[in-house]
């Protein structure tokens, strides 16, 4: 069987070699590899696309080996890995059109709200915890857009460090 992978590598010499080694070493075959060192994503990492072929068992061993080596696999067979992000909003969340706020967050590319919890405080400002799932590598973009939405609605955002 075949498997397509996208990995993120540090932009330092020798990284690609250590990615390719386990493939033949564990009995699989490399079909294609695309490594563009001049392209960096928002984390300053270089993505590598590769396709390998082999027995299911061997391919699985390669993936395990990558995880041991600490390589981030961001896509397997076209399915993008997700990151969970928690964030807290504080302000007149309901009065400032909660529905619209949620729609705007969901409209951010690669981002989906998966959890929401709100504490109301009478007429006062309220506090909400929002959990989103974001495509790998979309985190900074999410923070930036959220900041804009919050500014427009005069909400305080408490993001992860």
Partner 1 sequence: MDECKVIIMGFGAVGQGVADALFMKKELIKEKTGFEVKVVAAADSSSSAISAEGLDEKLLVDTKKNEGKLSAYPEFGSDKNGAEILDAVEYDCLIEATPTNIVDAEPALSLTFKAFEQGKDVVTSNKGHLALKFKDVVSAAEKAGVEFKYEASVGGSMPIINFVKDTLSSCDIKSINGILNGTTNYILSRMTSEGSDYEDILKESQELGIAETDPTQDVEGIDAACKTVILANSLLGIDATYSDVKVEGISKITSEAIELANKDDYLIKLISEVSPDNLQVSPRLVKKGSSYDVSGTLNMATVKTDLADEVSVIGLGAGSLETASAMLTDLISILKNKN
Q: In 10 A of CB 30, how many CB atoms?
A: 14
**Of the two residues 107 and 156, which places its CB atom closer to partner 1 in the complex?**
156
**Residue 87: helix, strand or coil by DSSP?**
strand
* Residue closest to 125 by CA, chosen among 155, 88, 92: 92
**Of the two residues 79 and 161, which places its CB atom closer to partner 1 in the complex?**
161
- Interface residue with partner 1, options 131, 133, 141, 145 (CB under 8 A): 131
Q: How far is the CB of 120 from partner 1 (least distance, A)?
A: 9
- Interface residue with partner 1, options 60, 82, 90, 145 (CB under 8 A): 90
* Measured distance CA(131)–CA(105) in Å, rounded: 11
**Of the two residues 61 and 131, which places its CB atom closer to partner 1 in the complex?**
131
Only one residue has tokens 């068992």, namely: 57
Only one residue has tokens 């981002």, namely: 111
The residue ranges that bind partner 1 (CB under 8 A) are: 86-88, 90, 117, 119, 121, 125-129, 131, 156, 158-161
């Amino acid at each position: 069987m075949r498997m397509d992978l996208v990995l993120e590598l540090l932009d330092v010499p020798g990284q690609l070699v250590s990615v390719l080694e386990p493939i033949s070493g564990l009995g699989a075959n490399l079909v294609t590899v695309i490594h563009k060192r001049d392209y960096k994503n928002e984390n300053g990492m270089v993505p590598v696309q590769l396709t390998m072929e082999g027995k299911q068992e061997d391919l699985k061993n390669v993936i395990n080996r990558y995880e041991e080596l600490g390589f981030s696999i961001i896509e397997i067979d076209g399915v993008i890995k997700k990151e969970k992000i928690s964030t807290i909003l504080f302000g007149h969340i309901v009065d400032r059109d909660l529905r619209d706020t949620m729609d705007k967050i969901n409209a951010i590319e690669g981002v989906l709200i998966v959890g929401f919890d709100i504490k109301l405080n009478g007429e006062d400002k309220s506090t909400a915890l929002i959990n989103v799932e974001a495509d790998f590598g979309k985190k900074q973009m999410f923070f930036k857009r959220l900041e804009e939405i919050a500014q427009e609605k005069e909400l305080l955002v408490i993001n992860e460090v």
